[in-house]
Chains A and B, each alone.
Chain A
Amino acid sequence: MINQMEPAPKDTEYDLYFGPAHPGSGNFGVKLKIDGEIVTSARADPGYLHRGFEKLMEYRTPIQNAVLSDRLCVLEPLNWNLVHAEAVDELMDIDVPERAKYIRVIMAELSRIQSHIIWYGAFSIGTGFDTGFKMAFGYRDYVLDLFELITGGRVYPAGYICPGGVRRDLPNGAMDKILKVLDQMDEMIKLEELENPALDARAKGVGILKVKDAIRLGATGPVLRGSGMKTDVRKEEPYEIYDRLDFEVPVRREGDAYARYIIGIEEMKQSIKIVKQALEELPEGEVIAPKFKKPKVSVKIPEGEVYVRNEVARGEAAVYMVSNGGSTPYRCKIRGPDFLHMIPVLEHLLKGAQIADVPAIYWSLNICPADMDR
C-alpha cells in the first residue's frame, strides 16, 4: 500500500528587506512579507535620516534656519528654502520686493525641473533602464551649473531664498545662461519622451492608486494628480507670483506608475514655461526687504502662528510656525509630502504586488527619505 504523501510544509513564504542601503533608495527600508512572487504585506521602516529639524529650528534664528531648511530635501533644497522663508515673511509681516518674488519663482521652478530629472533617472534605473539614469544625471548638471553661478552652491544653496527675499541678485549674464539651459532641458524632455517599450512594459498597469484611496492615504502632488485629481497648491492657493503666470496642471486618470511618470515629464514642460515667463517679466529693483538687508544676529519674531503651504516637486509641503515673541520660533512643524507617500501610500500599493514590480512602484512615487524623516 502506498502511503499518502505528507502535505508539503508551506515553505513559499519568506521575508525580504528592501533597502536601506539600496543604491539610490536613500536611507529607507521596507520590510516585505512575500508568498512566492506576491508581496502579502509591506511595512515601511523609516528613521535612518531622522535629524530632528523641528527641534533644531527651535534653537536657531530665522536666518540660520534658512540654511538649515536646505537639508529638508536633498533633491530640491530651493523649494524648501521657499516654504520656510514664506512662513517667516508672513509671521513677521514683511513685504518681499517684486524682483525677489520673481527670482524666488525662477529658482524654485529650476529646482523642480532638476528634481524631476532625478525622478526620471531613478525611475529608469529602478526599472533596469541604465541609459535613462545616466542621461538624467548628465542633463541635471546643466541646472547645477546654474545653481553654482547664482547661489554659490551646486546642490545646497545655503539659504539662497531667505526671509525677506533672496540673498543676492542674479549675476551678470545669468538670464542668458538660464535660457540656454532651458533649451537643453527641452532636448532632455525629447529624449525622455522617446518610446521605450521596456520601460512601458514595466510601468503600465503597475501600482494602481485609485483617487479615493489616494485622498484617504494623504497623497498630494504628482501622485494625486496621476490618480486623476486636478489639484495644485500653486493654482488653488497662489503664493509669490503664481497667480500672474500662465501654466497648466497635468492630470492623468490611470493612477498607475506610468501615469505618474508621464506627469513628471509634463510638469517639467510647464516649469520651463513658467521660468520663461518670469524671466520676460522680471522687474528691476531690490531683492531683499530692508529689514534683512544687513545681516543681523537676532531678529525678534512677533507673537503669532502661521501655516504656509507650497507645492514642491513631490507634493504639498507646509510649515506650521509658532512664535511667542522670541528670536527663534517656538515651534516649527514641517509637513513633508513623502511622509505620507513613503509610509501609508507605499504600504498600500506594495500589498498584493509582484515582487518584480516593487522597484517600479517605489520609484514612481518620486521618493526622498530626507523630507519624510526630517
Chain B
Amino acid sequence: MDTKEPKLLDEIKSKFNVEGRIQRERRIWISIDKERLIELCTWLKNQRFEHLSAISVTDWVKEGIFEVTYHLWSYKDKILLTLKTKIDRKKPVIESVTTVWEESAQIHERELHELFGVKFKGNSDLSPLFLEDWHALPPFRKDFDWREYVREEHYDKEDGREVVYYD
C-alpha cells in the first residue's frame, strides 16, 4: 500500500479528532458527528476531494438511526473517502453540503429527501424527483410495507380476479 492513505488519515484524525480506518488500497472510511460534518467537508474539498461520487442513506430501523454516507473521490490522490454520520430517525435533519459541492450534492440530496424523507437544511430545491403524487411513507425506509401499499392503492378487494392478493 502507498503511504498516502495513512498520511491522510493521520492528518484528519489529528485535526478533527475522529475515528477512521483504511479498508484497503484507496479506501478510507471515517465516522464523524453531524455537527462537525460541514467543517470536515470544507477541509476535504480544499484537499482536492472535488468529486462527490454519491450520497447515500442507510436505514438502521432497530437502532433508530439513519446513517448518511458521503463518498468522495480525489482526482489528485486517487483515494475514495467515505464520511459516515448518524442522525436521529425521528428527527431526520442534517446540514446540506450544497455549500461545498454545489449542484452535484444538490441532486443527490433531493433524491434522498424523496426516498428516505431526510431533510437537508440549506438545500434550496428538495422538490419531488421520481415519484408523482406520493403521500405514503418515504418508500425506501425499512418500515415502509410495499405489499400493503400496493394492495391499498392498486387492487380491489371486490374484484374476483384480485381477491387472491388479500389472502
Contact = CB atoms under 8 A, between A and B. Distances in A.
A binds B: yes
Contact of A320 (B54, B104, B107): B54
Sorted nearest first, the 8 A-B pairs with minimum C-beta distance are: A218-B104, A47-B130, A333-B56, A50-B130, A335-B54, A344-B103, A331-B58, A236-B78
Contacts of A322: 58
Contacts of B103: 216-218, 344, 348
A141 interface: no
Interface string A188-231: 00000000000000000000000000011110100000000101
Given A229-B75, A320-B56, A373-B130, A307 B104 contact: no
A316 B80 CA distance: 13
Given A307-B27, A309-B80, A344-B104, A316 B130 contact: no
7 contacts: A55-B146, A215-B75, A220-B51, A237-B78, A306-B23, A309-B73, A335-B53
A171 to B, nearest CB: 35
Interface in A297-334: 305-307, 309, 316, 318, 320, 322, 330-331, 333
Nearest to A230: B75
Contact of B130 (A46, A229, A318): A46
B9 interface: no
Contacts of B75: 215, 229, 231, 236
A340 interface: yes
A331 B56 contact: yes
A92 to B, nearest CB: 15
Give chain B's interface secondary structure class. mixed
A34 to B, nearest CB: 21
Nearest to B142: A58
B107 A343 contact: yes
A258 interface: no
Contacts of A340: 104, 107
Interface of B: 23, 26-27, 29, 50-54, 56, 58-59, 69, 71, 73, 75, 78, 80, 82, 101-104, 106-107, 111, 115, 129-132, 139-140, 146
Interface residues of A, number: 33
Contact of B140 (A55, A231, A236, A318): A55
A54 interface: yes
Interface in A226-283: 229, 231, 236-237
Contacts of A309: 53, 73, 80
Contact of A217 (B27, B29, B104): B104
A307 B82 contact: yes
Interface in A24-81: 46-47, 50, 52, 54-55
Interface centre among B56, B80, B102, B140 (most CB of A within 10 A): B56
B63 to A, nearest CB: 11
Contacts of A373: 130
Contact of A333 (B54, B101, B139): B54
B56 A218 contact: no
Contacts of B29: 305
Contacts of A50: 130-131
Contacts of A46: 129-130
A339 interface: yes
B130 to A, nearest CB: 4
Nearest to B82: A307
Contacts of A305: 29
B67 to A, nearest CB: 9
Contacts of B71: 307, 318, 320, 335
A16 to B, nearest CB: 20
A60 B74 CA distance: 33
Interface centre among A50, A54, A218, A316 (most CB of B within 10 A): A218
Given A47-B131, A307-B27, A215 B139 contact: no
Contacts of B130: 46-47, 50, 373
Contacts of B102: 216
